[in-house]
Amino acid sequence: MKQNTSNGSSGSAATFTSSASKTQDIRKNIVILSWCPDPWGGCEVLWFETAKCLLADGHRVAVIKSCVDFEHDSIKELTGAGISVEDFSADKSDSVDRFLKLKPPSWIVPFRHRHRLHPDFSRQFFWLALRLEELKPDLVVVSQGGNFDGTEFAIACLRLNIPYVLISHKASEWIFPPDHVREPMANAFFGAQKVYFVSEHNRELTELQIGTRFPHAEVVRSPVTTPVEQPLAWPETVNERYRIATIGRLCPQEKGQDILLRVLAQNKWRERPVDVSVFGRGEYDNGIKGMAKLLNVENIRFAGTTNDVTDVWRSHQVLVMSSRAEGLPATVVEAMYCGRPCIVTPAGGSAEVIDDGNTGFVAESATAQGFDKVMERAWLSRDKWEAMGRQAAIQIRRLVKTDGGRSFAAKLIEVCNAR
């Protein structure tokens, strides 16, 4: 996607022009609350594309996000188009006294950090509540990087009697809320007008973790932003060696890079003509490189980040993702759009878009043993990879569309109008 880094006077900002057919009386005021531990992540794509569509339809949009980098191209695109973006993570000390004059401390039911908010988070939370009262939104969209990390935002909306929807972008098998936080988390989900998950796997796992069904739940897909209309040409092997890529934040507890390294450390993979490229960065960069050195995995290179995923797939034949926790990985969708088969774990929604043995390979479990088996199956079928990639490109275009932001914007307005 071409990013607009202007101040809104030219380029893609023109696509945000309000529709002349929209009238003032149906204009909605939408606030997006995004919790993401990084300046930008895959969980931001859905609300980002949706915000642009809402603005183009004449609605008001404001964004409150954690860890804002105001020099990031996507943030500059929003602000250049006239969308207000505020940093939830910034120091809010000046807002506390003003807030407490309006609301007593007991107004909030805190449950972060063993049922007590961290003092810094408390100041931010008080500011958020005050800001929401000032903005007076018709609807708040709470976008969670995981499936529980935005529940404080939902509690604020409940206390202010502001309608909201929840989006969960990831669920982790090892996170089960203890009793003292399970009830407020359940209240956060049931208090929402709608709850959205990016995969059926995430919906079912979240219901299991809370211990109840969500009759108002729905699965939505993040829009595809890979700029390819047709699958890319199949890359030839270089010096008769196959090239495999893994793309994602360097975070072993979620992305499972240690699982992949344990598989590659086996003698059979040392002897095979395979090179593995690792794209991504994170706070575990040196730790993962240390793992590779400890295990003496030599057929791997750490390639850093990339701004052009299509460039990766012009030179690599297969995506490998050994994740322990996912939503629906954008990297899987992008690789399939480019015509590449994927080797994945059952974490998140990967198995919902991959036909095992036909468009990719799905492991039985997110363990070294389970991933060893699926990697072996994939290797024995390497003569079929190109044909599987062609089928993957066809299948993913049926399941995940490029207009996900447009369709989700329509769902949000339906929620507003139903009240």
**Is 269 within the bounds of a domain?**
yes
Residue 196 has pLDDT above 50, yes or no: yes
- Asked if residue 266 and residue 190 are part of one domain, the reply reads no
- Do 213 and 285 share a domain, yes or no? no
- Asked if residue 270 and residue 207 are part of one domain, the reply reads no
Are the CB atoms for 243 and 279 separated by under 8 Å?
no
pLDDT of residue 48: 97
Question: Tokens standing for 370?
Answer: 């389970």
pLDDT surpassing 80 at residue 21: no
Residue 230, in any domain of the structure = no
Expressed in angstroms, the distance from the first to the final Cα of the chain is: 35
d(CA 241, CA 250): 25
Strand pairing class (171-172; 325-326): antiparallel
Any idea which of 80-84, 155-159, 357-361 has the lowest mean pLDDT?
155-159
Q: What is the pLDDT of residue 88?
A: 86
Name 82's Cβ contacts closer than 8 Å, sequence gap at least 6: 8, 16, 55
Considering the domain architecture, whether residues 307 and 169 belong to the same structural domain is answered as no
Q: Is 22 a residue whose pLDDT tops 50?
A: no
Burial class (CB within 10 angstroms; exposed 0-12, middle 13-18, buried 19+) of 356 = middle
pLDDT in tens, 309-320: 999 999 999 999
Q: Are residues 50 and 107 in the same domain?
A: yes
On whether residue 275 sits in a domain, the answer given is yes
Q: In whole numbers, what is the pLDDT of the chain averaged over residues?
A: 87
Contacts (Cβ under 8 Å, ≥6 apart) of 340: 313, 316, 317, 318, 319, 389, 392
Residue 4 lies in a domain: no
Q: Is 332 inside a domain boundary?
A: yes
Could you give the number of structural domains in the chain?
A: 2
> Same domain, yes or no, for 210 and 354?
no
Amino acid at 396: I
- Assess whether pLDDT exceeds 60 at residue 6: no
Which CATH number fits the domain that encloses residue 276? 3.40.50.2000
Domain presence at residue 121: yes
Nearest to 381 by CA among 349, 352, 356, 364: 356
pLDDT band at 189 (very low <50, low <70, confident <90, very high): very high
Asked if residue 268 and residue 168 are part of one domain, the reply reads no
Interatomic CA distance for residues 40 and 3, integer angstroms: 14
Q: Are residues 124 and 273 in the same domain?
A: no
Q: What is the arithmetic mean of pLDDT over 143-171?
A: 92
Burial class of residue 87 in the structure, from the number of CB atoms within 10 Å of its CB (0-12 exposed, 13-18 middle, 19+ buried): middle
In a domain, 236, yes or no: no
Q: Are strands 60-65 and 325-326 parallel, antiparallel or unpaired?
A: unpaired
Comparison of pLDDT for 315 and 2, the residue scoring more? 315
How many other C-beta atoms are found inside a 10 Å radius of the C-beta of residue 13? 19
**Mean pLDDT, residues 256-276 taken together:** 97
Range of the domain at 80: 11-223+401-418
pLDDT of residue 238: 80
Q: Within a domain: residue 6?
A: no
Mean pLDDT along residues 296-324: 95
Q: Is 342 helix (H, G, I), strand (E, B) or coil?
A: strand
3-class SS of residue 66 = coil
119 plus 135 within the same structural domain: yes
Residue 140 has pLDDT above 90, yes or no: yes
Do 203 and 351 have their domain in common? no
**175 and 252 housed in the same domain:** no
Say if residues 412 and 141 touch (Cβ distance below 8 Å): yes
pLDDT for 249 equals 92
Residue 198 and residue 113 in one domain: yes
Please report which confidence band the pLDDT of residue 175 belongs to, taking 50, 70 and 90 as the band edges: confident
CA distance 192 to 147: 14
